[in-house]
Amino acid sequence: MQGYNLRRYYDKQPDITKEKMEVNKSIFRENDIRGTYPEQLNEFTIGEIGKAIAIKCKKENIDSISVGRDGRLSGESLLDAFCESLVNSGINVTNIGMVTSPMLYFEAKINDTKSGIIITGSHNPKNHNGLKMVINDKPVSGIEVLSLIEDIKDEIVKKGTLQTKDIKEEYLNEVTESVSISNPSNYKVVIDSGNGAAGCIAPELFKRVGCEVIELFSEVDGNFPNHHPDPSKLENLQDLIESVLNNNADLGLAFDGDGDRVGLITNTGENIFPDKYMMMLSESILSKESGAIVFDVKCSNHLDELIVRNNGMPVMAPTGHFHIKKTIKENNALLGGEMSGHIFFNDKWYGFDDGPYSGARIIEALSEYPDGKSISDIMNTYPKSFSTPELNIDVTDENKFQIIKDFIDQNNLEGEENTIDGLRVNYVNGWGLIRASNTSPKLVLRFEGNSIEDMHYIQNEFLSELARISPDIVINLT
């Protein structure tokens, strides 16, 4: 890697000088850092972030860190600038190149300082990018990094070092040792990497564990020419569903842009929500040992009830990988997951969210059933939920939290309230949730009922209250 010279950036931006540039505070989120490139997050901004990260490292007595990037078009340039900033700030840097977020987390688990940062836009539009951070084996919030930027002092320090490393084989070897699939050659799986970073690892991973693999969109391309890499949206799963049915596959797996989330399609072409396939994973894990299972506020009550029936301890957490990881650590949980498809195995894996690994564990759990049961057969044994997918209402980053605060303070809903993350109201016939997104200018809603009528009733109750409390909002669910 060649060092990044900021002068190259300024030469491309004739109206911008270093003196005029400021760090946009809105990109620093509760879970991570995200913004548009180059307006909000650019080579200058990430250089300042690098200086702030160096301050955090020195406070933690960390002198070296691993870094990588996903397949975003802006990733290589931003990674160059980030490495240069860290090295100039006295940090020893190991650049592991283009990887998935889970591969970076794996590297952070096995390196001496337990620290790593990936430059990734995750599932956001192609002109977005950001950072996910682990320092001293703990997730770092974007808000903390923003607070450290104010402590930056221009001072001369002894430069750190820069080296490169390829971790692909080490990661694949550990995955294959961890996953134990009975008769893996019996399983035909379609893998849709969505032209995201998962394409560099997922197809090989499933071949290594012994499955027959059919690939879709494995070439990493930051333009995402086939569909957007977000498996939580049904419109992005149509190619996968078609391929599963046409190839008589046992299941299909889809990954997001940086490979830390997984979507599941059954052999019959049905999209399964993460809180439902977490039921199968929970049963599999709890059949071997007792412990806690963590899930976010968007998950079904049926998951909670299943964990209790299997002698586990259900623990609800706020949405977001930062909160899930923190809650897993606090409870020494065996498994964690959230409705967006982030799944965290902490039984015989490292406790971070990993889409391809989670997909392999889904097949492992499937292989534990006798008589060759299909994934569709198993999903049909769980209670039928009448639930919406994640619904969004467009607002602004500036007003979304105030809207939620007003809703909590002023609503007239009748039910048991939970304010761990926004407002979740439990009724005898279902539940509803409204919260502010941590990563985008949106309100997030989800509803579940014992019947389709119950679900619609609860949804209408929430939307009527939202219209009354915040009449300026355009309620257009997406």
The per-residue pLDDT for 440 is 81
Q: What is the SS3 assignment for 210? A: coil
Domain count, the chain: 3
The whole domain housing 119 covers 6-167
Prediction pTM value: 0.93
Domain edge (last residue) among 242, 269, 296: 269
Same domain, 405 and 445: yes
Distance of CA 184 to the CA centre of its chain: 27
The pair of structure tokens assigned to 387 is 């639930």
Same domain, 11 and 144: yes
pLDDT digit string, tens, across residues 63-102 = 999 999 999 999 999 999 999 999 999 999 999 999 999 9
Strand segments (E) across 230-269? 251-255, 262-266
Q: What is the SS3 assignment for 426? A: strand
Same domain, 129 and 10: yes
The per-residue pLDDT for 1 is 36
Query: Domain for residue 132, yes or no?
Result: yes
Q: Is residue 109 scored above 50 in pLDDT?
A: yes
Find out whether the peptide bond into 38 is cis, omega within 30 degrees of 0: yes
Same domain, 157 and 25: yes
Point out the residues that are catalytic. Answer: 122
In this prediction, residue 21 has a pLDDT band, given cuts at 50, 70 and 90, of low
Same domain, 188 and 146: no
Residue 424: phi, psi to the nearest 5?
Answer: -110, 130
Same domain, 20 and 155: yes
Same domain, 189 and 163: no
Q: Give the C-alpha separation, 298 to 174, whole Å.
A: 31
pLDDT digit string, tens, across residues 237-291 = 999 999 999 999 999 999 999 999 999 999 999 999 999 999 999 999 999 999 9
Same domain, 265 and 161: no
Mean pLDDT of the chain: 94
Same domain, 232 and 131: no
Same domain, 96 and 133: yes
Query: Domain for residue 247, yes or no?
Result: yes
| pLDDT mean over 160-174 | 98
Q: Is residue 149 scored above 70 in pLDDT?
A: yes
CATH for 129: 3.40.120.10
Q: Is residue 2 scored above 60 in pLDDT?
A: no
In this prediction, residue 19 has a pLDDT band, given cuts at 50, 70 and 90, of very low
pLDDT digit string, tens, across residues 206-221 = 999 999 999 999 999 9
The per-residue pLDDT for 395 is 97
CATH for 400: 3.30.310.50
The per-residue pLDDT for 361 is 98
Identity of the residue numbered 59: K
Same domain, 197 and 156: no
